[in-house]
Amino acid sequence: QVSLPITINLVSLTRRWLAKEAMASTSSLSAVLLLCLAVAASAQLSPTFYQTTCPNALATIKAAVTAAVNKENRMGASLLRLHFHDCFVQGCDASVLLSGMEQNAIPNVMSLRGFEVIDSIKAQLETMCKQTVSCADILTVAARDSVVALGGPSWTVPLGRRDSTNANEAAANNELPPPFFDLVNLTQSFGDKGFTVTDMVALSGAHTIGQAQCQNFRDRLYNETNINSGFATSLKANCPQPTGSGDRNLANLDVSTPYSFDNAYYSNLKSQKGLLHSDQVLFTGTGGGTDNIVNNFASNPAAFSSAFASAMVKMGNLSPLTGSQGQVRISCSKVN
Annotated binding residues for substrate: 177
Question: Which whole number is the average pLDDT over 2-24?
Answer: 39
Whole-angstrom distance, CA of residue 188 vs CA of residue 193 = 9
* 254 and 282, same domain (yes or no): yes
73 within a domain of the structure (yes/no)? yes
Whole-angstrom distance, CA of residue 149 vs CA of residue 77 = 10
- Cβ–Cβ under 8 Å, residues 115 and 46: no
330 within a domain of the structure (yes/no)? no
219 within a domain of the structure (yes/no)? yes
Annotated binding residues for heme b: 207
**CATH code for the domain in which residue 293 is found:** 1.10.420.10
Answer whether 0.85 is exceeded by the pTM: yes
pLDDT digits (tens, 9 = 90+) for 118-143: 999 999 999 999 999 999 999 999 99
Confidence label for 43 from pLDDT (cuts 50, 70 and 90):
low
* 212 and 273, same domain (yes or no): yes
Q: Taken in order 91, 309, 116, 108, is the CA torsion positive or negative?
A: positive
Active site amino acids: 85
- Cβ–Cβ under 8 Å, residues 275 and 238: no
Q: What is the pLDDT of residue 7?
A: 33
Where helices occur in 205-300 by DSSP H, the ranges are: 218-223, 229-236, 264-270, 277-280, 291-299
**CATH code for the domain in which residue 70 is found:** 1.10.520.10
pLDDT digits (tens, 9 = 90+) for 228-284: 999 999 999 999 999 999 999 999 999 999 999 999 999 999 999 999 999 999 999
Annotated binding residues: 86, 89, 91, 93, 95, 102, 177, 207-208, 254, 257, 262
Q: What are the phi and psi torsion angles at 238 (to 5°)?
A: -95, 0
* 156 and 206, same domain (yes or no): no
**Could you tell me the CA-to-CA distances from 250 to 16, 223, 255 in Å, in that order?**
53, 19, 12
DSSP characters for 50-84? TTTT-TTHHHHHHHHHHHHHHH-THHHHHHHHHHH
Question: Which whole number is the average pLDDT over 69-75?
Answer: 97
Residue that is last in its domain, among 157, 175, 193 = 175
Q: Taken in order 28, 29, 34, 40, is the CA torsion positive or negative?
A: positive
332 within a domain of the structure (yes/no)? no
| Number of separate domains in the chain | 2
18 within a domain of the structure (yes/no)? no
322 within a domain of the structure (yes/no)? no
Domain with 111 in it? 56-175
Strands 211-213 and 250-252: antiparallel
222-233 in b/e burial notation, b at 16+ Cβ within 10 A? eeeeebeeebbe
Mention every residue, 6+ apart, whose C-beta is less than 8 A from residue 6: none
Whole-angstrom distance, CA of residue 23 vs CA of residue 15 = 12
